[in-house]
Amino acid sequence: MARSSVNYQTTIAETIRIVGTGVHSGDTVSLNLHPADTDTGIVFLRTELSKRRDVEIPAFWKFVSATDLCTMVGDPRDASVATIEHLMAALRGLSIDNLVIEIDGGEVPVMDGSAGDFIEAIDQVGLVTQSSRRRYIKVLKPVRVENGKAWAELTPYAGSRYEVTIDFAEQVIGRQSIGLDLTPTTFRKHVARARTFGFVRDLEKLLPMGLCRGSSLENSVAIQDDRVLNPEGLRWTDEFVRHKLLDAIGDLALSGAPLLGRYRSYRGGHKLNYLTLKALLEDASAWMLVDGAPRGASSAAELGLGMVAPAYSAEVA
């Protein structure tokens, strides 16, 4: 009898090489995604370190060292990897459990600003279902974190659900909401190709600080004077909140195992995503590990979208 990928761990079928530009450093970075044994988890392997051997950095919440403009794991004074959220979202979105990510720089390449290129690269080699059962982190009680008007919470749910709301003063963004039960199908269709976005006014401040050197209209949605500067426009009219959802999926993937619960956030970001995950996992009474998907989780997950901003537009190739 064939194993169900819902209940068993997966990895990629063969090594994948990806080359791109770091959005902050502007440097060319190479990734080699290697298949890994069961129970390895997701591990970054920093190479090309001056006069040092390679360093392993687990993609795990306890190793998070920065959440300001992106999510970073490892020690920035020693060996670290930044801007991991889009790649981590792709891995969680496709339900990949075990992978060694060899990287020759300190930042995951931004590609087109979404998870789309990572998904396409993985699709070229495919996935392998492994022999060990997948373990899930089941949320047992509500955990909430607040930061001014912003808040986020994790609550019990028979599946893996994300509900994200953003609220910007700029009319081009405004208030947008999206909610979905996370499966490879819903991730591919509704989340993977949503690009990062930013304001030109912020870019002008960050460039003198040595940040955003690799940012361009090819890898981000740029906003100035309450309008989108990208000639091709948006991939969805609510692409902004879809990308915030992508970030949340990537940040919460640092749990070390898929979450069975509902994540909700209002005006969230990397820091709030991380702090909510940290609050959950530091409270031993708020969660438990379970083997395989509990009865009802798969069917609930396949329900797909349950709350989406009503405005849509056709995707732009």
pLDDT tens digits for range 206-219:
656 666 667 788 88
What was the pLDDT predicted at 23? 81
For 98, the token pair is 């075990």
Best CA proximity match to 276, nearest among 8, 64, 59: 64
CA angle at residue 62 from 88 to 163, to 5 degrees?
A: 50
Structural domains in the chain, CATH included, are 8-133 (3.30.230.20), 135-308 (3.30.1700.10)
pTM, to two decimals:
0.90
Q: Does residue 200 carry a pLDDT above 90?
A: no
Which residues fall in the annotated binding site? Answer: 86, 243, 247
Which residues fall in the annotated binding site for Zn(2+)? Answer: 86, 243, 247
Burial annotation 23-50 (CB, 10 A radius, 16+ → b, else e): bbbeeebebebbbbebebbbbbbbeeee
Active site residues: 270
Q: What is the pLDDT of residues 58-114, one digit of tens each?
A: 999 999 999 998 999 999 988 999 999 999 999 999 999 999 999 999 999 999 999
Q: What is the pLDDT of residues 32-60, one digit of tens each?
A: 999 999 999 999 999 988 777 899 999 99
- Amino acid identity of 173? I
Q: Read off the DSSP letter of residue 116.
A: H
